[in-house]
Structure 1
Amino acid sequence: MTETWPVRLDKSKARREEILAAATRLFNRKSFAGVTLDAVAAEVGVTSGALYHHFANKELLVFECLSRGIALYREELARAMEQGIDGLELVRRFIRGRLRPGEPRMIVFSDLNSLPKIHREAVHRGRMENVERLAGLIASGVADGTVAARDPYLSSLAVFAVLDWMPLWYSENSYYTRQEAADAIDDLLTHGVLSRHVPEPLSLCDPWDLDEAISRLVPHASRALRRERILRAASQSFNQYGVVGSSMEAIANDAGLTRGAVYHHAPDKMTLLRLCLERAYRREGELLDLVLRKVGTEADPVRRIIAEEVYIMRAMVALHESDIGPKINFQNVAFLSQEQRRQMSGLHEEVVGANRERYVRGIDSGLFRKLDINFMQEIGAGLRNNFPTLFTMSQGQHVMDIADLCARLFLFGLKPRNI
């Protein structure tokens, strides 16, 4: 029997969604640059010709995957809406809905600046609209008293930072189920990591001259300074133009050096990216050591544990803005080969291990809730590592306000401490 047009149309839509889902998995695993259309076709089990029927080129496929991610967020925000439900529950319905088992996987929003301008602007506009929609839900919670009285827009950005980070660490093959991961993220974002008996102070901690602290990390040897200059220019380029949109020649020009000088330190762009990421891990570890020494003299355990998290967030921001910044977007790890990732795995484990030790100490002291350390680490990492993205979407908010809000969300959650 001949198929009718509506049936053929439904099959075409289903095939298109199958291709987008497969491409999203591959892009998340190997980056946009590391995936070919032939690889996507093989993942779906179709011919390359069938794939080209839906998407003329990889550039369009990448854009459609990103647009699909934006649409998934938008649809979940719409589903969360219901009259008569308090603001906090609306926000939690969105978080739980987006993460629940069976829902399509979200794409990593990386390397956006390498897209053509028309696509880049469309993706940015769609993301901003979703942030504003969630900010509206959060504002309704602030108004009805179910959400702590903080900036709704910055709170929305912070929640999206956590959700956008999940594709980088979530695994179907780990010890937890997707439902357990969803429940853990919902719980931490709602209630925070601090025990609920700990009140949220108006002032988080004393000021600290972070510029002076960071200046201690600046190298002084001429060779080290030249390398630092190259890695700074490269990190700025990768953040601004994306990995695909950056070139060794442009990075050399930005650093004020010859191409030969850059190639002396890194024979190719992927090696340079790995060096930038290793530099970022080292800087984060050094800053963590500075913070722990700083708060170690605080006698009050509550003030100490709050200051520790706040200073770390502020230090990450100050690093990004400093002469030894910027903080490179860690989502770029997907562009590295397995061998390159292995080469810097030790640095990654050092930083992750240091943060996990902090959380264990907090739980042992009774000041942190008894939460899964892995989820605490990844939610905190989502907030710390998405600062480059948060700054570009912050609508002119002061960078330290962003750091403090992220610290408040992590420590105290969305729910006010008096209810």
Structure 2
Amino acid sequence: MARSAAARSTDRFERKREAILDAATRILNRKGIKGLTLGDTAAAVDLSTTSVTYYFKRKDDLAAACITRGIETLTELADRAVQAQTPEARLHAFLTNYLDTLKGVSCGTASPLPIITELRALSSPRREEVQSTYGRLFRKTRQIFDHPDLAWMSRGRRTARTRMLLEQVFWGGNWLEKFDPEDYPRICDRMVDILVNGIATTADHWEPAPIPMEELAAREGPELARETFLLAATRLINRRGYKGASVDKISAELNVTKGSFYHHNEAKDDLVVACFERSFEVMRKAQRLAMEVPGDQWAKVSSCASALAEFQLSDHGPLLRTNALTALPEQMRKVMVEHSNRVSDRFASMMSDGIAEGSLRPVDPFIASQMLTATLNACGELGYLVPDVRPKAAAAVFVKPLLMGVFKH
């Protein structure tokens, strides 16, 4: 009887802990770590803040537990998927498992998945602990590419493809909500088709036209000074996350005083918005320049994607990672998401034209454009993943697999 009572007590503890994590994850996804509080989490589950601290003493402990649980869920999905015999079957199983989980979330039968990239905003030692858990997810997902038929693929290329694939999962929450869960099997098939076969036709070749990096960045006068300021801030925010990029650290990175910082920016949120606006303008500029490239839409899309991948690793890059969106106040975030969607919609328009003229495969242009946006967003990490990669080679290593197929040379 004593053991039975202890078991019931343990069950109650775990159920309450899971409820706290569910509530905190939803807040985390809306407001980021910056907006997550123990008080709001407690209110969401009808507990006092003191009661929540019985489970998680600090906000970072709670955020780390949310993200760790999400990573472990994805690792379980990948572990089941890699039991399949072929890379194509593993890929299909992984995305099917992921979308089935999202369907369960929408139906209330599965716990919500957190925005994984928020782990950058955690403080030590929680950040390192969660990064270790993420490393296990990454290594498990990379097993999708472990097959004799892919022996030609170097470790660096497998690593790049794995990061690109995981970004599709991380980014999916931003656009899959446009669809009813009953459509997820169809969406899964379309995503797998794009990943396996690309958007290029069998007649297309990988020969993107060069777009000078200098054309994508401000080059003189006040614009150059502002570009330098925003570039330094972008690099720091990408590296440390919004929370880790304090005004003191940003000022030190730029070698200016805090007073000088506030002379140019009313608040850190304004700086993040300015960094996003810079990034979106670079992407729009690349699209405009690509539209002037001679040839068909395949030439234009591949040239644009190639230029942006190179920009990410060049002295002018990177672009601000989209995970910084969660740190912005809701109204600011809404405006920045609209800007991001306009960039993706232009890619979709270019792809639609290519499908109509026959230079691109008949894929779903909306889904393909979102997958390309996700790929370009993650490309900034390529230098960390494959340290010896050169900016000029970034597109061939990271973008070409999406456009021409992840299992192709």
TM-score (norm 2): 0.86
Alignment of 1:198-213 (within 5 A): 198=202, 201=205, 204-205=206-207, 208=210, 210=211, 213=212
**Shift of the alpha carbon at 1:7?**
2.5
How far apart in 2 are the matches of 1:206 and 1:373? 20
2:257 corresponds to 1:279: no
Q: Which runs of 5+ in 1 are unaligned?
A: none
Distance 1:94 1:325 in 2: 32
Alpha-carbon distance in structure 2 between the residues aligned to 1:390 and 1:126: 20
**2:263 alignment counterpart:** 264
Q: Distance in 1 between matches of 2:342 and 2:173?
A: 22
Partners of 1:91 and 1:134 within 8 A in 2? no
Instruction: Quote the Cα distance in structure 2 between the aligned partners of 1:105 and 1:229.
Output: 39
Is the Cα–Cα contact under 8 Å of residues 148 and 414 in structure 1 kept in the other structure?
no
Amino acid at match of 1:57: R
Q: Which has the higher mean CA deviation after the structures are superposed, 263-272 or 315-324? A: 315-324
**Mapped partners of 2:240, 2:143: distance in 1:** 31
How far the C-alpha of 1:330 sits from its partner, in A, is 1.3
Partner of 2:199: 193
- Indicate yes or no: 2:56 matched with 1:55: yes
Q: Deviations over 1:184-203 (max 9, x none)?
A: 323322332335xx1575xx
Distance 2:219 2:400 in 1: 36
2:365 maps to 1:373: yes
1:47 & 1:182 partners in 2: Cα distance?
41
Per the alignment, do residues 45 and 366 of structure 1 end up closer, same or farther by CA in structure 2, a change over 3 Å counting?
farther
Going from structure 1 to structure 2, the CA distance change for 1:14 and 1:342 (only over 3 Å counts) comes to: closer
Determine helix, strand or coil for the equivalent of 1:386.
helix
Aligned to 2:92: 92
SS of 1:170's equivalent?
Answer: helix
1:131 correspondence with 2:135: no
1:171 partner SS: helix
Aligned residues of 1:310 and 1:403 also touching (Cα < 8 A): no
* SS across alignment from 2:35: coil
Q: Distance in 1 between matches of 2:46 and 2:144?
A: 41
- Whether the 8 Å contact between 1:76 and 1:97 is mirrored in structure 2 is yes
How big is the alpha-carbon RMSD for the aligned residues of Structure 1 and Structure 2?
3.0
CA offsets, 1:7-53, max 9 Å, x none? 22223223222322322222112111012122222333433233222
Aligned residues: 401
> 1:221, CA displacement in angstroms?
4.9
Q: CA deviation at 1:148?
A: 12
The one-letter amino acid paired with 2:269 is M
Q: What corresponds to 1:239 in structure 2?
A: 238
Q: How does 1:10-409 map to 2 (within 5 A)?
A: 10-82=11-83, 85-100=85-100, 101-102=103-104, 103-140=110-147, 142-143=149-150, 151-171=157-177, 177-195=183-201, 198=202, 201=205, 204-205=206-207, 208=210, 210=211, 213-294=212-293, 297-298=294-295, 301=296, 305=298, 307-344=299-336, 347-394=339-386, 396-409=388-401
Q: Quick one: distance in 1 between partners of 2:360 and 2:111?
A: 33
Which stretch of the first structure deviates more once superposed, 229-238 or 115-124? 115-124
Whole-Å Cα distance in 2 between the matches of residues 142 and 387 of structure 1?
26
1:342 shift after superposition: 4.5
User: Do the aligned partners of 1:162 and 1:383 also contact (CA within 8 Å) in 2?
Assistant: yes
SS at 1:315 equivalent:
helix
Which blocks of at least 5 consecutive residues in structure 2 are unaligned? 105-109
Q: Secondary structure at the match of 1:151?
A: helix
Shift of 1:238: 0.4
Q: Aligned partners of 2:190, 2:170: CA distance in 1, in Å?
A: 15
Say if 1:394 and 1:104 are closer, same or farther in 2 by CA, change over 3 A.
farther
CA–CA distance in structure 1, aligned partners of residues 334 and 235 of structure 2:
24
Give me the whole-angstrom Cα distance separating, in 2, the residues matched to 1:10 and 1:367.
58
Amino acid at match of 1:169: W
Provide the C-alpha distance between the structure 2 equivalents of 1:259 and 1:64, rounded to a whole number of angstroms. 34
CA shift in 2, pair 1:395/1:107, >3 Å: farther
**1:176-232 Cα deviation digits (max 9, x unpaired):** 74444434323322332335xx1575xx11563x4xx22134435533232222211
Structure with the larger RCO, 1 or 2 (CA within 8 Å, 6+ apart): 1
Query: Secondary structure in 1 aligned to 2:44?
Result: helix
Please state whether the residue corresponding to 2:34 is helix, strand or coil.
coil
- Farther-moved stretch of structure 1 (378-387 vs 99-108): 99-108
C-alpha separation between the residues in 2 aligned to 1:161 and 1:123?
A: 17
More helix by share: 2
Give percent identity, aligned residues only: 21
Distance 1:40 1:372, change over 3 A: farther
Scaled by the length of structure 1, the TM-score of the pair is 0.85
Residues 230-267 of structure 1 show CA distances to partners (whole Å, capped at 9, x for unaligned) of: 21121111011111011223222222333333212211
The SS at the match of 1:117 is: coil
Q: Cα gap change, 1:43/1:367 in structure 2, threshold over 3 Å: closer, same or farther?
A: farther
